[in-house]
A and B are shown apart, each in its own frame.
Chain A
């Protein structure tokens, strides 16, 4: 589904991503872990071109999205993204947050979008918050709404950029639970996270990125049970 070839990204003289090659297949749940500043978030943000790669190519659904001629807005309609700081639109109600993008993309009319919004809100038990504004919600509620806002576009893949890192500990569970539900429904997911339990339980593949390089990747059993790379060993020793 997503083919990444020779992907590099530099900020000025500082090279953050160094020639990453990988393929994310439909239905896969790839969890990316690594120390902070390792480039894992930058890698994820390159996948939907929120960061413009310095070199390399990304092919999504047979379309080379790194080609300047590609209409990136069309591509992004099929790639959901969830942010660490939720980024709900502060000037819109919860319902409008969800219905705006599908309407602007003309994949739904107003009535359809509102119906879909209410269905999604029911899914996360927040239908009573439809007319609330984002800053009236808790962090966990915001993040669950941010997730269903992406889902309203019916994406083929969901990218999660540390979705639980800004949450109070007691709210992490409700967000992870929703992500597990998504995973069970077969959604293709790429998740940058520090939640090792989630990686172990949900991932089909865990990727360890450090210094902008994929140092090791494996299915979770081997990854956590029998790590090979020295840096990964010391990283796991610290976080587990």
Chain B
């Protein structure tokens, strides 16, 4: 028992105190959150645009679809198929070692690469989430907007998207949590995120127990915080549902 406690003490000391190792966690958290937040924004932009193209295409009668809309819809479908059909890690490897091949391996380059990869990846999932939200709004809302002389774009922007967004917030929260945890695979390109920080400490100190349980706890706390934040946001958006 005493041996166990002294071992744990040593583990804690080497993981956090020795050589200011705690810095790996602090910087790691920063990078993990930065990549997650930027990728989410990029994913939302891509996702909403694709969702609008896809549902505009599906809502028009077949004989009224313009060639541009048909083309864009085709592009979106290919994108969704490819991105959802291949592993995120493979996408990251291709992005860094093929597309970014000539870039120097600096932190800022790797961060940029990670944000773009996860943004594009998340965009595909968010697109389908948002599309399901758009489809869940009854046709009467669009008809009412159009009957008042508002354009399709205006009705989407002021009426349909806000309601759709509220309906899909739980699913988007899911996507955000998945995204946060999935960023841990940036270790394969050498970006020093939270997970990489623990791996570095392990290789320096031969400690495994403390560093890995520590980051598990840190991920958990971050997810709990996000869940709490989403709950708040949902409460605010539910204002119009109060009877």
The answer to whether B141 touches A90 (Cβ under 8 A) is: yes
Residues of B within 8 A of A179 (CB): none
B181 at interface, CB cutoff 8 A: no
The answer to whether A89 touches B239 (Cβ under 8 A) is: no
Cβ-Cβ contact count across A and B, 8 Å cutoff: 81
B67 at interface, CB cutoff 8 A: no
A213 CB to nearest B CB, Å: 24
- A73 touches which of B150, B158, B242 (Cβ 8 Å): B150
Question: For the complex, what is the distance from the CA of A142 to the CA of B140, rounded to whole Å?
Answer: 14
Which A-chain residue is minimally distant from B154 (CB atoms)?
A104
- B143 touches which of A87, A90, A104, A136 (Cβ 8 Å): A87
Residues of A within 8 A of B86 (CB): none
B-contacting residues, A179-212, CB 8 Å: none
Residues of B within 8 A of A88 (CB): 144
Which A-chain residue is minimally distant from B152 (CB atoms)?
A73
Residues of B within 8 A of A134 (CB): 240
The answer to whether A76 touches B158 (Cβ under 8 A) is: no
The answer to whether A50 touches B149 (Cβ under 8 A) is: no
Contacts A50-B143, A89-B159 given: A101-B240 contact, CB under 8 Å? no
Question: For the complex, what is the distance from the CA of A7 to the CA of B150, rounded to whole Å?
Answer: 25
The answer to whether A73 touches B151 (Cβ under 8 A) is: yes
Query: Residues of A within 8 Å of B, CB-based: how many?
Result: 33
Residues of A within 8 A of B144 (CB): 81, 83, 87-89, 146
- B150 touches which of A78, A80, A87, A105 (Cβ 8 Å): A105
B243 at interface, CB cutoff 8 A: yes
B224 CB to nearest A CB, Å: 29
B-contacting residues, A39-71, CB 8 Å: 48, 50, 52
The answer to whether A85 touches B240 (Cβ under 8 A) is: no
B2 at interface, CB cutoff 8 A: no
A74 at interface, CB cutoff 8 A: yes
Residues of B within 8 A of A83 (CB): 140, 143-144, 147
The answer to whether A136 touches B140 (Cβ under 8 A) is: no
Extra A-B contacts (4), CB below 8 Å, given A50-B143, A105-B149: A73-B150, A101-B149, A133-B242, A149-B148
Interface residues of B (CB under 8 A from A): 61, 64, 140-141, 143-151, 154, 158-159, 162-163, 166, 239-243
